[in-house]
Chains A and B, each alone.
Chain A
Amino acid sequence: DQQVKQNSPSLSVQEGRISILNCDYTNSMFDYFLWYKKYPAEGPTFLISISSIKDKNEDGRFTVFLNKSAKHLSLHIVPSQPGDSAVYFCAASATSGTYKYIFGTGTRLKVLA
C-alpha cells in the first residue's frame, strides 16, 4: 500500500506556461514534505520542502502548496523552462525520530520549447 502517490506518470507543458505536479499521501502522521528533481543518469536533487505548519512555500519559480485536510500537495513551476524537463518525486516523512522518507513513483515533466 503506497503511502505517497503521484498519480500522473507524465506531464507535458508548453515553455512559459505553468507546470503543476500533484502528490497525495495517506498517513496523517506525515508532517514534512519534499520535492526532488531527477535528470537521467543523475541522482535526485533536492528542490523545495514544506512543513505541515505552513500551507505554502515559495522559492523563485517553484512554489509548493500543502492542503493538510485533503492530504494533498502540489508543486507549481512558473514559468516552465525546457531545463525543467525531468522526473519529479515527492517525499514525505514524520519528524518523530525516524529516518524514513517515503517517496512517490515520480512524474516525468516535459517542457516543450
Chain B
Amino acid sequence: ETGVTQTPRHLVMGMTNKKSLKCEQHLGHNAMYWYKQSAKKPLELMFVYSLEERVENNSVPSRFSPECPNSSHLFLHLHTLQPEDSALYLCASSHTSGANTGELFFGEGSRLTVL
C-alpha cells in the first residue's frame, strides 16, 4: 500500500455514539494532520502532530479527541457529536524539516454524518 489511507470512508452515527476515524500513512512522513471540510467552507485545520507530539490544536471542541500512537498512524476519536459536525474529515501527512513544511498528501477522507 502507498500513500495515505483512511477508514472508514463513510460513517453514520447518532449523537450519543462513540466512534473513531483511522488514518495510516506509508510515505515515511513525520507530520500528520486532521482537516475538516464542510460544504462551501475552506478546509479547516483541526490538529497537527509532528513526531507524534501534538503541535497544533485549532480550538477544536473536546468532543473530538486525536491520538497519534506512532508516526504512521493517526486517530480521531468522536463522542457526543452534533449534527453540524457532519462533514468530510481529511487526514494528511507531510515531511517537515526544520522550518520547512513540505506539501500535504491527503487521504480520500471519511464522510461523517451525525444524526
Contact partners of B50 in chain A: CB under 8 A: 99
A99 and B31 contact, CB distance less than 8 A: yes
Chain A residues 83 to 110 lying within 8 A of chain B, measured CB to CB, are 89, 91, 93, 95-106
Interface bin, chain B: 20 to 34
Does B75 belong to the interface (CB within 8 Å)? Answer: no
Does A8 belong to the interface (CB within 8 Å)? Answer: no
Does B96 belong to the interface (CB within 8 Å)? Answer: yes
Alpha-carbon separation in the docked complex, A36 to B105 (Å):
10
With A2-B42, A105-B41 as contacts: A99 and B105 at CB distance below 8 Å: no
Does B60 belong to the interface (CB within 8 Å)? Answer: no
Contact partners of A95 in chain B: CB under 8 A: 99-101
Query: What distance in Å separates the Cβ of A12 from its nearest Cβ neighbour in chain B?
Result: 19
A45 and B106 contact, CB distance less than 8 A: yes
Does B66 belong to the interface (CB within 8 Å)? Answer: no
With A99-B96, A105-B42 as contacts: A93 and B101 at CB distance below 8 Å: yes
A43 and B42 contact, CB distance less than 8 A: no
A99 and B90 contact, CB distance less than 8 A: no
Alpha-carbon separation in the docked complex, A91 to B42 (Å):
10
Query: What distance in Å separates the Cβ of A40 from its nearest Cβ neighbour in chain B?
Result: 11
Contact partners of A104 in chain B: CB under 8 A: 42
Contact partners of A29 in chain B: CB under 8 A: none
Alpha-carbon separation in the docked complex, A95 to B104 (Å):
14
Residue of A nearest to B40 (CB): A105
Give residues in A with beta carbon < 8 Å to B: 2, 4, 34, 36, 41-46, 49, 89, 91, 93, 95-106
Given contacts A43-B108, A95-B99, 13 further A-B contacts (CB under 8 A): A34-B103, A41-B108, A42-B109, A43-B92, A43-B107, A44-B90, A91-B43, A98-B101, A99-B50, A101-B101, A102-B42, A103-B42, A105-B42
